[in-house]
């Protein structure tokens, strides 16, 4: 009869749930399709191997990434990933309860956003609401994943999971990663590695919180920070922690990345530089995303990627960067996106406007990707609609796209009608909305024929028009379209 811990790991229901988790965002991968052709048969075979303790993982597939620094990533076979999820499904809830509150990596309800918020809270407490000088011990563990000792890890796990068959499976998973030093290291990229990384350093967390009694301590994987208004206290913590890591966990603090920093000089943590009254994004992270966006533009021009895929990536970046004081930067990125990835095709001739027709895209001067009708696209659009967009113009755009009249938008948003029109003008100028959505075609062509220069004043254009019913707001939108077309022409004229 199987032990109480190992039996749920091997249960068919657990393996089926594990397979569902392992295939997440990979349902179109060939190896997932192949495995699911005979899903029940494959899961039952895997269950039998685990029960009979005949299961053996396949060799890891290793590749190198350089983003931003060189890392060796090891990928497990899909079948092995199911086992990883099955194991974590059972043992994670048992061990996770022993983790401290201020461990933020790879845990439900945690993450970088929560870690930064906690840092802000500790910063206020340590500095007595910014009335005292505050310092931070910012530390990093050298080659953490490569240095994890398997025997020490098994000893730690066995304190919470005293079950030899489960521990045997853990040893099997750890031993599948071959390193220069036998019995050391975990592969980057595995679910079990992420979980065991927290299990291993939970020993440090408990030591810092209960032995050293450091109140303002936060850890994210192998990066940790302690805040205090006494610099000498942090120096003492650094020595004690270095000794504990070396003697108890066979780890070393990184000498170059471990330092005590004055808060007014800015503390680097999780991609941000945090100051007493504001936060900034690290410049290299901004450059990295902008390079990625330019690469997306090239692929979009070649029709290798659609607008929604880029928008989804942008949405994630905006959510991350919104944690810092980046309003103008995010507005710039959104405008750049709208210019590079237009929602609909705009005609290039400034004097006339025709309707957007998908069949004309082949000869169009700009990449043309109609709004997709797929379930993924609709889901993405719904998320955009439900999101609390931080930009007032984007909020107007969302309401206008739903077909809500301008007067009703103004009433709903508690702004003036002219303000709504000003938003539409900006949307047109930054290629996020075609002119014909705001102004009737006949009126638009009439206004464009009366524009002589993008520097024309609205009152001058109005004087040239025969139809006095055309409003200044409509003229402003047409002028925005005129400016957009001139922007597109300039690079070709140089």
Tens digit of each residue's pLDDT (9 = 90 or more) over 84-135: 999 999 999 999 999 999 999 999 889 888 999 999 999 999 999 989 999 9
Cβ atoms of residues 118 and 165 within 8 Å? no
pLDDT of residue 150: 95
Which of 335, 327, 324, 343 shows the shortest CA–CA distance to 290? Answer: 335
- The tokens describing 318, both together, are 């905006």
CA distance 394 to 143: 44
Cβ atoms of residues 284 and 292 within 8 Å? no
Instruction: Characterize the bridge pairing of strands 223-228 and 61-66.
Output: unpaired
pLDDT at 301 over 70: yes
Q: What 8-state DSSP symbol labels residue 129?
A: T
CA distance 122 to 135: 11
- Residue 324, classified by CB atoms within 10 Å of its CB into exposed (0-12), middle (13-18) or buried (19+), is buried
Q: What are phi and psi of 336, to 5 degrees?
A: -65, -40
Mean pLDDT (whole number) for 222-226: 94
Which of 93, 96, 14, 95 shows the shortest CA–CA distance to 50? Answer: 14
Which of 3, 190, 200 shows the shortest CA–CA distance to 90? Answer: 3
pLDDT at 340 over 90: no
pLDDT at 343 over 80: no
CA distance 433 to 447: 18
Mean pLDDT of the chain: 85
Cβ atoms of residues 156 and 200 within 8 Å? yes
Which of 238, 218, 248, 242 shows the shortest CA–CA distance to 142? Answer: 242
pLDDT at 371 over 50: no
- The tokens describing 477, both together, are 């939108």
pLDDT of residue 319: 85
Give the count of beta carbons closer than 10 Å to the beta carbon of residue 473. 19
Element (H, E) at 227: strand 223-228
- pTM > 0.85: no
In tens, the pLDDT along 128-159 reads: 998 999 999 999 999 999 999 999 999 999 99
Instruction: Characterize the bridge pairing of strands 223-228 and 217-220.
Output: antiparallel
- Residue 211, classified by CB atoms within 10 Å of its CB into exposed (0-12), middle (13-18) or buried (19+), is exposed
CA distance 226 to 263: 12
Handedness of CA 372, 374, 377, 381 (dihedral sign): positive
| Percent residues over pLDDT 70 in the chain | 87
Q: What 8-state DSSP symbol labels residue 106?
A: S
pLDDT of residue 303: 82
pLDDT at 490 over 70: no
How far is residue 392 from each of residues 396, 410, 465, measured CA to CA in Å?
6, 12, 32
Q: What is the CA radius of gyration of the chain?
A: 29
How far is residue 16 from each of residues 45, 195, 419, measured CA to CA in Å?
12, 20, 54
pLDDT of residue 307: 81
- Nearest 5°: the CA angle 242, 125, 142 is 20
pLDDT at 383 over 80: no
pLDDT of residue 420: 93
Mean pLDDT (whole number) for 41-63: 90
- The tokens describing 292, both together, are 């990625």
Q: What is the 3-state secondary structure (H, E, C) of 18-68?
A: HHHHHCCCCCCCHHHHHHHHCHHHHHHHHHHHHHCCCCCCCCCEEEEEECC
- Residue 414, classified by CB atoms within 10 Å of its CB into exposed (0-12), middle (13-18) or buried (19+), is exposed
Give all strands (DSSP E) within 256-357, no chain letters.
259-262, 267-269, 272-274, 279-281
């Amino acid at each position: 009869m199987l032990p109480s811990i190992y039996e749920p790991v091997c249960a068919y229901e657990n393996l089926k749930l594990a397979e569902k988790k392992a295939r997440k965002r990979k349902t179109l991968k060939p190896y997932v399709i192949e495995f699911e052709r005979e899903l029940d048969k494959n899961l039952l075979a895997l269950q039998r191997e685990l029960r009979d303790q005949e299961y053996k993982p396949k060799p890891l597939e290793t590749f190198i990434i350089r983003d931003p620094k060189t890392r060796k990533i090891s990928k497990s076979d899909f079948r092995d990933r199911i086992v990883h999820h099955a194991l974590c499904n059972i043992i994670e809830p048992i061990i996770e309860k022993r983790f401290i509150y201020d461990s933020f990596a790879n845990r439900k309800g945690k993450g970088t956003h929560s870690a930064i918020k906690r840092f802000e809270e500790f910063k206020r407490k340590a500095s007595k609401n910014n009335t005292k000088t505050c310092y931070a011990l910012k530390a990093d563990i050298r080659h953490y994943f490569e240095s994890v000792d398997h025997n020490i890890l098994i000893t730690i796990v066995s304190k919470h999971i005293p079950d030899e068959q489960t521990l045997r499976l853990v040893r099997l998973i750890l031993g599948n990663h071959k390193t220069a030093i036998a019995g050391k290291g975990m592969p980057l990229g595995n679910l079990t590695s992420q979980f065991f990384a927290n299990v291993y350093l939970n020993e440090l967390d408990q030591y810092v919180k209960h032995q050293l009694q450091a109140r303002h301590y936060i850890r994210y994987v192998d990066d940790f920070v302690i805040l205090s208004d006494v610099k000498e206290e942090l120096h003492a913590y650094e020595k004690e922690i270095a000794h504990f890591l070396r003697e108890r966990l066979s780890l070393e603090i990184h000498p170059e990345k471990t330092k005590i920093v004055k808060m007014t000089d800015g503390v680097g943590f999780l991609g941000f530089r945090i100051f007493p009254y504001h936060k900034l994004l690290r410049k290299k992270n901004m450059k990295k995303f902008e390079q990625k966006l330019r690469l997306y533009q090239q692929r979009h021009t070649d029709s290798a990627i659609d607008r929604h895929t880029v928008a989804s990536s942008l949405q994630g970046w905006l959510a991350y960067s919104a944690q810092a004081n980046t309003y103008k930067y995010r507005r710039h990125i959104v405008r750049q996106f709208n210019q590079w990835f237009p929602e609909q095709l705009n005609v290039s001739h400034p004097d006339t406007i025709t309707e957007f027709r998908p069949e004309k895209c082949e000869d169009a001067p700009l990449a043309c990707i109609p709004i997709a009708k797929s379930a993924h696209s609709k889901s993405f659009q719904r998320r955009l609609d439900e999101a609390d967009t931080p930009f007032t113009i984007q909020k107007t755009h969302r309401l206008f796209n739903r077909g809500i009249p301008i007067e009703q938008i103004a009433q709903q948003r508690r702004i003036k009608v002219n303000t709504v029109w000003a938003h539409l003008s900006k949307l047109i100028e930054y290629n996020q909305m075609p002119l014909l959505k705001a102004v009737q075609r006949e009126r638009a062509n009439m206004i464009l024929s009366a524009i002589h220069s993008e520097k024309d004043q609205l009152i001058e254009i109005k004087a040239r028009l025969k139809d006095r019913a055309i409003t200044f707001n409509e003229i402003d939108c047409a002028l925005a379209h005129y400016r957009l077309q001139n922007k597109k022409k300039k690079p070709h004229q140089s």
